[in-house]
Chain A
Amino acid sequence: MNIIARKSVLAGFAALVIGAFIVWHSLGYRIGTPTRMGPGLFPLTLGALMVLAGAAAAIQGLREVDEGVALRIRPMLAVCGALALFGLTVDRIGFIPAAVLLLFVSGLAESPPKWRALAILSLTLAPAAWFLFVELLGIPVPAFILPAGFGGAS
C-alpha cells in the first residue's frame, strides 16, 4: 500500500503541514513579551503543538497496521459544488432559481440521481424556504432576478 494512502500517516501529515503553515504565518505577527503578548504568540504556540501532534500521529501510523482512506468523491463534489453554486448565483439570479439549482446539483450525489424527488423538492421546498426565510425572517434577497432585457430588476 502506498504509504501516503494510509489513514493515520496521512492525518498526521496533514496536521503537520497545517501546523507548519500556522507557525510560518505567525512569525509575521508581533510575538511580544510575556507581560504584553503580541498577536503572534498564541497562534505560534498552537502551530508548534500541532506540528508535534501531527508528527506523533504520523509516526504512530507508520508503526502499526493501518487502514486506507475511502473517500466518497462524487457526493463530496456534488454537495460542495451545489453550495458554491448557490453562493455564486443567489445574488445574481434570485433565491428560487439558485435554490432549484442547488437541489439538482446536490442530487447528482446519488447515482442515478432521483430526478422525481428533486423535482418535487424544487416545487415544494424551494418556495417554502423562500417564504420562511425571505418573507417571514426578512433576508434581503429577491425571489427572482430577471435579466435586464425582460424588464426585471437590474
Chain B
Amino acid sequence: MSFADSILLGFETAMSFQNLLYCLLGVTIGMVVGVLPGIGHLTAISLLLPLTFYAPVTAGIVMLAGIYYGAQYGGSIASIMINLPGTASSAVICLDGHPMAKQGRAGAALIITTIASFFGSVVAIVLLVALSPPLAQAALTFHSADYFSMMVLGLVAAGTLTQGKPVMGAASVLLGLWLGIVGTDVSSGALRFTFGQPQLFDGIGIVVIAMAFFGVSEVVSSIGRDRTGAQMTGRVTLRSMMPTRGDLKKSLWPMARGSMVGSGVGILPGAGGGSMASFMAYAVEKRISKSPEKFGTGMVEGISAPESANNASAQSAFIPTLTLGIPGDPMMALILGALLVHGVTPGPTVLSETPELFWGLAVSFLIGNLMLLILNIPMMGLWIRLLQIPPRYLFPAITLFIAIGCYSASNVSFDVLLVAGLGLTAYLLVSIGFEPAPLLLGFVLGPLLEENFRRAMLISRGDATVFIERPISATFLVASLALVAWVAAGTRKRKKKLA
C-alpha cells in the first residue's frame, strides 16, 4: 500500500461518524480529568477501560488515546490557576505558569500552553507516521530471543527509572510479572496460582489490576485530603487570552526543542511518559537560556517547552507500542491490554494486518488535537469552573465506577470482590514503597515474556547462548546491563553525598 493510500485510509477511518464521536468523547473526558487534580489520567483510563470493550477496537483505542492526550492539555490549567498539577506531567508547569497567573497573565499562559500542546502533538504525529512503517518492517525480522531481550530492557528501564528506590522498582516489576501469569499456562495447560478458584482460570483481568492499583489505591490516598491553599489566581477573559506577539516569538524555539525532547523520551521504553519529558525539556530550556535565573518567575519559555514535550511524548509513546508491541509507560500498557482484549496482538503485524487501526488512529490524533485546540479557546472558562467541583462528590462516584466497571468487564461479582481485595493490597503495597507503574508494565508483559523465552529456548534446543549470539538480542541485553550499572553507580554516589 502506498503512503498516500495509507493516509487516505486513515482519514476514511478516523472521519467515520462513530470514530469522530469516540474521539470527541475521549478528548473531552481527558480535558475534564486533566483539569481535576486528584484524578490522574491513569485512574480515568482504568475506569473507562471496560466501556471500550463495547466499542469496535479502533473506536475504543481512539477514545482511550483521546483521554490520554486530552489530559495532557487539561493538566496545565490546574497548574496555572491553582498551583496544583492536574496530572503528574504538568507539575513543572506550576513553576512558571502560576507566577504568570499571579502577574495577571493567566489567560496568556493558558493559551500558550494550548498552542504549545498542539505544536508538540503535531511534531510527534509526523514522527509516528514517518517512523512506524520502517520500524515495523525491521521488527518483522525479530526472533523470539530478540523480543525477550527487548522486553527485558523495557522492564529494566521501568523498574530502575522510578522516583523511588530501584530495588523496589525491580520488586514491583517482578510482582507484576507474577500477577500476569496467574491462570492457565498456555503451553502446558497447567493451572498456576489459581487457588482452586474457577474465576481465576482465565487469569486476572487487566481491568481489575488497573482499577486496584490506579483506582482504589488513588481514591484511598486522596479521599478527604484537604485542598486548602488551592486558591484560584487571576481572572480569565477571552480578551486576556490573546497572547502577545512577544510571547509567541519567545515560545517558538522552546516549543520546537520541547517537541524534540518529548518525542525522544516518549519513544524510549519505560521512561515514564510525560513527567520525565516535561522535566527534561524544562531543564534544557533553563540550561541554554541567557537568563536562567529568571526561570520560576513567570518565563514563557518555562511553560511552552515542557508543555510541548509532554504532549509530544504522549503521541510518540504509541510508536513502540504499535510497531513493536512494547509499551513504554503504564498508559501504553493499558492500551496494549485493551488491544489484547480486542484480540489484536500489538506488534509489527498491526500495520500490515489491521492498517485501518494504525492509520485511523494516527489521523484521529490529528483530529483530536485540532478539536482540543478549537474547543479550548471558547471553553476555557468552563474548564476553570471545573476546578471548583467539591471533592466530596468525586470520590464516592469514582468508587461506584470502579465497582461497576469491574462487574461489567466480565459480568461476575467475583471480580468486584477481587478488586476490593487487590485494591486493599495495592494500597498497602504502594504506601510502603511499591510502584504501580512498573507493576502494570510487568503485568502486561508477563505472559509475553515467558512465551518468548520458552520459544527461544525451544528453537535453540535449550542453548541459552542464543540470547547473546543474536546481535539484536545482545544489544538489548547489554543496554539493560548498562542501565542497571548506571543506576547502581548513581545510588552509590548519592549515598556518598549523604554521608
Contacts and interface: CB of A to CB of B under 8 A. Distances in A.
The yes or no verdict on A and B being binding partners is: yes
B417 A87 contact: yes
B51 interface: yes
A75 B223 contact: yes
Contacts of B402: 83
A120 B185 CA distance: 47
B428 interface: yes
B351 interface: no
Interface in A49-66: 49-50, 53-54, 56-57, 60, 64
Contacts of B219: 75, 79
B396 A7 contact: no
Q: Determine which residue in A47, A53, A99 has the highest number of CB atoms from chain B within 10 A of its CB, and name it.
A: A53
B324 interface: no
A122 B423 CA distance: 23
A15 B168 contact: yes
B295 interface: no
A46 to B, nearest CB: 5
A107 B181 contact: no
B178 interface: yes
B403 A80 contact: no
A58 B200 CA distance: 32
Please classify the interface of chain B as helix (H, G, I), strand (E, B), loop, or mixed, using the class held by over half of its residues: helix
Given A53-B174, A109-B224, A83 B423 contact: yes
A111 interface: yes
A121 B220 contact: no
Contacts of A80: 216, 220, 420-421, 423-424, 427
B381 interface: no
Please classify the interface of chain A as helix (H, G, I), strand (E, B), loop, or mixed, using the class held by over half of its residues: helix
A57 B171 contact: yes
Nearest to B450: A42
Contact of B397 (A30, A81, A121): A121
Contact of B192 (A7, A43, A57, A82): A43
A48 B470 CA distance: 27
Nearest to B399: A106
B171 A83 contact: no
B413 interface: yes
A37 B432 contact: no
Contact of B188 (A7, A39, A49): A39
Contact of B175 (A36, A50, A110): A50
Contacts of B171: 11-12, 15, 19, 50, 53-54, 57
Interface string A69-89: 111100110011111101110
Interface string B403-428: 11001100101111101110110011
Interface string B58-96: 000000000000000000000000000000000000000
B415 to A, nearest CB: 8
A50 B174 contact: yes
Interface stretch (B273-281, B360-368, B452-460): B452-460
B134 interface: no
Contacts of A120: 393
Nearest to B195: A25
Contacts of B396: 102-103, 106-107, 117-118, 121
A41 B178 CA distance: 12
Contacts of B401: 129
Contacts of A102: 396, 399-400, 403
A34 B93 CA distance: 51
A143 B411 CA distance: 15
Interface string B153-181: 00000000000010110110011011001
Nearest to A138: B54
B103 interface: no
B433 interface: yes
B461 interface: yes
A19 B393 CA distance: 40
Contacts of A151: none
A25 to B, nearest CB: 6
B370 to A, nearest CB: 28
A38 to B, nearest CB: 7
Interface of B: 51, 54, 165, 167-168, 170-171, 174-175, 177-178, 181, 185, 187-188, 190, 192-193, 216, 219-221, 223-224, 390, 392-393, 395-397, 399-404, 407-408, 411, 413-417, 419-421, 423-424, 427-429, 431-434, 449-450, 453-454, 457-458, 461-464, 495, 498
Q: Which 9 pairs show the lowest CB-CB distances between chains A and B?
A: A87-B416, A34-B462, A35-B462, A83-B420, A84-B420, A11-B433, A15-B171, A39-B190, A87-B417
